[in-house]
Amino acid sequence: MKHYAAIVNGKPLRVGSDFPVFNPATGEEIGRAPNMSSAELDVAVSAAKAAFASWSSQSDAALQAACAAVTAEIGAHSAELAELITLEQGKPLNGLGSRWEMGGAVAWAGYTSGLSMPKKILQDNEQGRVELHRKPLGVVGSITPWNFPVMIAIWHIMPALRTGNTVVIKPSPYTPLSTLRLIEIMNRVLPAGVVNVVTGDDQNVNLGGAMSAHPDIRKIVFTGSCATGQKVMQSAAETMKRLTLELGGNDAGIVLPDADPEKIAEGLFWGAFLNNGQTCAAMKRLYVHDSIHDAVCDALVAYAKNIPVGNGLDEASMLGPIQNRMQFDKVSRLVADAKGKGKVLLGGKPGEGLFFPPTLVSGLRNGDALVDEEQFGPVLPIIRYSDLDEAIRMANDSPNGLGGSVWSSDKAKARSVAARLECGSVWINKHGAIQPNAPFGGVKASGIGVEFSEEGLAEYTDIQVVFV
């Protein structure tokens, strides 16, 4: 059994205890991660703070070159990291699984490496010159979830490095191993202390809470649930930290009556079931016009019933297990409740271990638990509507506002509907297709700030205006 070490100040840090990490497909223990204390977190933050002075003084070209070197190093270890992701997260190697995640991670790292934020000249005339400069914040604390352990780590770390910040990252206790290995790989080409990783089982020591309150961490970037995001925000208030919070989504899709059920079935399925539905910006609710409701249901069932579900190490698998027991129990509870109110079109019966088949349920409405709660699993409720204004109202009737989609053969009509949706991203005839050159973030309770592109990069900086 491999015991993984934390990486602090550029080298392995062994601690007094560790905790097991399990393969959700088999239940077997696959490794052990360090169970670190608040004192050991302090050591990591001190290392990042000490490294900040020299790292932040690097030229823009030097920072860009260093980020490019990190990208190349990650790319060289993509296959190794993909297998580790599958072992601890459960997603398949194949299809839209761990190899796809690593491809996205490398693409995001490369794109972010190429971004730049030169000074802006706001005024230059006989009254004087005014310049706007972007300055790094200091130590950035990153807290990542278990659904995309490497790709989301890249989303957090790379813009921090590119803008001259240093990092302490804490992954989910369900999926710490790929992050531990990722940071070890990064440290092959980075100065000591620039990126550090801490892990814990969250049982006795709340490392995330300690990071949010830590006086030497200037910013927290967090991806996870709304409830935890609120706690992060509360504990960060006393030290006036900068925050980027990408929180839960209960994304709605609206299918207009002119859509072709056969043509959109594949896009609808993967919009909802990417990563087994364990995706913040996955489609969690689908509103379908009465005139094509049954045809859309039939097309979705026909497509979904042929998707292989199994151990992610099996190249034939397209979907794997739910990652952990807590999430499995939530999905099971919501499906059990839905069975008494709607009609299960496909799936609905838990499998062995943490496996749950792709499940489609019709006959539900707003107010039912599966519609109102973010299921974060392989289940999609399909809600019938007859009035478009009512469908838009129902789609917006949520405290969340991460993403949404409109499905139609008339793009102009779809765009008009999209403009009325209360969410940070809207897709037309697809769902959840984020990309590194487009800012991504939520409205309402789905978060604060944005990630990706120049707008996301700016969130890792303070503005300083120089008057000459």
Q: What sign does the dihedral 252-256-259-261 (CA atoms) show?
A: positive
| Position 27 pLDDT exceeds 80 | yes
- For the annotated catalytic residues, the residue numbers are 246, 280
**CATH topology (fold) of 6-247+443-467:** Aldehyde Dehydrogenase; Chain A, domain 1 (3.40.605)
pLDDT digits (tens, 9 = 90+) for 414-442: 999 999 999 999 999 999 999 999 999 99
Question: Mean pLDDT score of the chain, rounded to an integer?
Answer: 97
- Give 334-358 as a DSSP string: HHHHHHTTSEEEE--S--STT----
DSSP designation for 2: P
Q: At residue 116, what is the residue type? A: S
What are the φ/ψ torsions at residue 136 (nearest 5 degrees)?
A: -65, 155
**Topology match between the domains 6-247+443-467 and 251-428:** no
Backbone Cα Rg of the chain: 23
The number of angstroms, rounded, from the C-alpha of 174 to the middle of its chain's C-alpha atoms is: 15
Residues sharing a CB contact under 8 Å with residue 457, sequence separation 6 or more, in sequence order:
112, 115, 117, 159, 162, 163
Q: What is the pTM of this model?
A: 0.97
pLDDT digits (tens, 9 = 90+) for 301-329: 999 999 999 999 999 999 999 999 999 99
Per CATH, is 251-428 categorized as 3.40.309.10? Answer: yes
Q: Confirm if 328 and 315 have CB atoms less than 8 A apart.
A: no
| Domain coordinates in residue numbering, the chain | 6-247+443-467, 251-428
| Position 30 pLDDT exceeds 80 | yes
Only one residue has tokens 């049954």, namely 294
For 225, the 3-state DSSP assignment is coil
Q: Confirm if 464 and 133 have CB atoms less than 8 A apart.
A: yes
Q: Confirm if 392 and 240 have CB atoms less than 8 A apart.
A: no
| Position 177 pLDDT exceeds 90 | yes
